[in-house]
Amino acid sequence: MELDLELPPWTIIFVTIFISFLVLWVFYVKFQGAKRRRDRLPPGPFSWPVIGNMHQLGKLPHRALQDLSHKYGPLMYLKLGCFPTVVVSSSEMAKEFLKTHDLAFASRPTEYALVKHLTPNGIITAPYGAHWRHMRRLCVVELLSPKRIETYRSVREDEVLDMIRSIWKKSEQGTVPVNVSNSFASLTSSIIWRILSGTKFSDELNGSGLKEILDEVTATMGIPHIGDYIPSLDWLDLQGVKRHMKSVRRVMDAAVDKMIDQHVSRNSTVNSNSHHVKGFVDVLLEMQKTATADMEITRDHIKAIIVDIYAAGTDSTTSQIEWAMSELIRNPNIAKKVQDEIESVVGNHRIVTESDLAAMEYLQCVVKETLRLYPAGPIMVPHESTEACTVGDGYLIPEKTRVVVNAWAIGRDPKVWEDPLEFKPERFKDKNIEMKGQDFDMVPFGAGRRGCPGAQLAMGTISLALAQILHCFNWKIEGNPSELDMSEGFGGSNNRKSHLYAIPMLRIPNCI
Ligand code: HEM
């Protein structure tokens, strides 16, 4: 019997295409590996054309990148879409990028829709250069200096007390659970609002719903846009992010303009010797009058500072208070230790003031432990190299490479931290870590030229809020505290997945 081995033409075509594709593929993989070795690039996973390694980021990129770093090491090269990116996952490497070669990596990528359509004049996303230096100087020297932050002490104390009273009221005198996540969010936005505008949120200077618009801007900043990673798809604006940004910007511009106008006309009628606490807008308007040509302060500068400080200072501080509170509810013995310490400093007849905080060492350990485990920016705002630079074991980082520091992975590195996943504030009794960007074992505020200029304000707000919350109330939740859901929400920012609900039980009657 004769076998008919003749194949149909379409099968031959299909098999030929498949084999050609396979051969090309093998060559491409080998070529990519050889190119990486030849260019002395750090090791990393294979990157697909167009999407690079985007598919490997998952819902929680800091976790996915930590998993990859276990395989490829603390300095890893990959592509986010079309953009070459290095991922830094150890304190040693963080020091290389944020200290040793700080200048070479002090820029930011500018291709983001956010930079083009929402905050083109901001400080956070500004590339390294004259504009950034000017804005940074205004922030560090004028607005967020220790002296200036101290002038807002009464603002923080007042707003924290308002929060305590509002929590008690919402709990119907300790009988129903309160959404404390919302309470913390409104605390931080009220504090930042008051620091910016010099007025309480409910006052008439709040303009046309500006605070709500700024909340919208902050939320919009967090929406990922495919075109940021795959520029060939940018024009399609598949998710409508660019359209949304443009419309938010129009509304924001008008509202911020109105706020500035109101300040200008109010300041012209207010006596310059009045005891009114000046907000950043007043400070900048005053500086505007005497600014020299090289330190000019335009309306665009003022607008950008309002938006950036609000965006950088609200959600980040909220998330730290929220995680600290979640851990304290899960660990009542730790909460009790904090309460005992507070009581030993302030007694039980009065509320906590900021001047009491310096004596509360254990509370500071709790704050640091929270920042270690739950940094508000688990993956720091990307940096970008302005020149080729050799780092670590002779790896070459080409010019215009994006740098992503995984602060979340660094704080949980078992080579540095014993029992890294345990919430153990005591570890900071022996380990003297300052949050001034000199220590790289944890980098919740970044470090170097681009390090967070708001760290002192943030630490003060978090510490005071926690001290007052624990001094005024004992806390319980519905269900078993040790089983409290600690899942993180979707995305790059580090919030709880679900809001935290808890019932306050009054400890110090003077609080309310
Ligand atoms: C717990 C709260 C906060 C955390 C964890 C945090 C963390 C960070 C981090 C990681 C960066 C980027 C550092 C880098 O790229 O190397 C940053 C930048 C920045 N932060 Fe914060 N931050 C917090 C609160 C604040 C507050 C309260 C303000 C202002 C009121 C603020 C203002 C800024 C600004 C303006 C930048 C941009 C600096 C630049 O690019 O030059 N932050 N922050």
User: 124-128, 281-285, 435-439: which range is least confident on average?
Assistant: 435-439
Partners of 504 in the beta sheet?
Answer: 475
Going from the Cα of 508 to the center of ligand 1, the distance in angstroms, rounded, reads 34
452 in a labelled binding site = yes
Residue 7 located in a structural domain: no
Question: pTM for the complete prediction?
Answer: 0.92
Measured distance between the N- and C-terminal CA atoms of the chain, rounded to whole angstroms: 100
Residue 336 located in a structural domain: yes
Per the CB < 8 A criterion, the answer to whether 131 and 125 are in contact is: no
- Which residue is closest in CA terms to ligand 1's atom 29? 454
| Phi and psi torsions of 47, nearest 5° | -105, 130
| Nearest atom within ligand 1 for CA of residue 126 | 40
Scanning 152-240, the segments in alpha helix (DSSP H) are 153-170, 180-197, 210-221
Residue 23 located in a structural domain: no
Residue 252 located in a structural domain: yes
Residue 451 located in a structural domain: yes
Domain CATH number, residue 340: 1.10.630.10
Three-class secondary structure of residue 84 per DSSP:
strand
Cβ burial 457-496 (10 Å sphere, 16+ → b, else e): bbbbbbbbbbbbbbbbbebebeeebeebeeebeeebbbbb
Q: How confident is the model at residue 325 (pLDDT cuts 50, 70, 90)?
A: very high
Going from the Cα of 221 to the center of ligand 1, the distance in angstroms, rounded, reads 14
Residue 34 located in a structural domain: no
Domain residues for the domain of 244 are: 39-511
- Which residue is closest in CA terms to ligand 1's atom 24? 313
What is the rounded distance in angstroms from the CA atom of residue 10 to the CA atom of residue 90? Answer: 53
Cβ burial 132-154 (10 Å sphere, 16+ → b, else e): bebbbebbeebbbeeebbeebee
Residue 10 located in a structural domain: no
Question: Measuring CA to CA, how many Å separate 171 from each of 127, 330, 476, 479?
Answer: 47, 20, 12, 17
Going from the Cα of 312 to the center of ligand 1, the distance in angstroms, rounded, reads 6
Residue 8 located in a structural domain: no
Structure ipTM: 0.99
**Residue 322: closest CA among 93, 87, 494:** 494
What does the pLDDT look like over 429-466, one tens digit per residue? 988 888 878 899 999 999 999 999 999 999 999 999 99
List, chain by chain if needed, residues with CB within 6 Å of any ligand 1 atom: 123-124, 136, 139, 144, 308-309, 312-313, 316-317, 320, 375-377, 380-381, 444-446, 450-454, 457-458
Going from the Cα of 455 to the center of ligand 1, the distance in angstroms, rounded, reads 7
What does the pLDDT look like over 24-68, one tens digit per residue? 777 777 777 777 777 799 999 999 999 999 999 998 999 999 999
How many structural domains compose the chain?
1
Per the CB < 8 A criterion, the answer to whether 322 and 181 are in contact is: yes
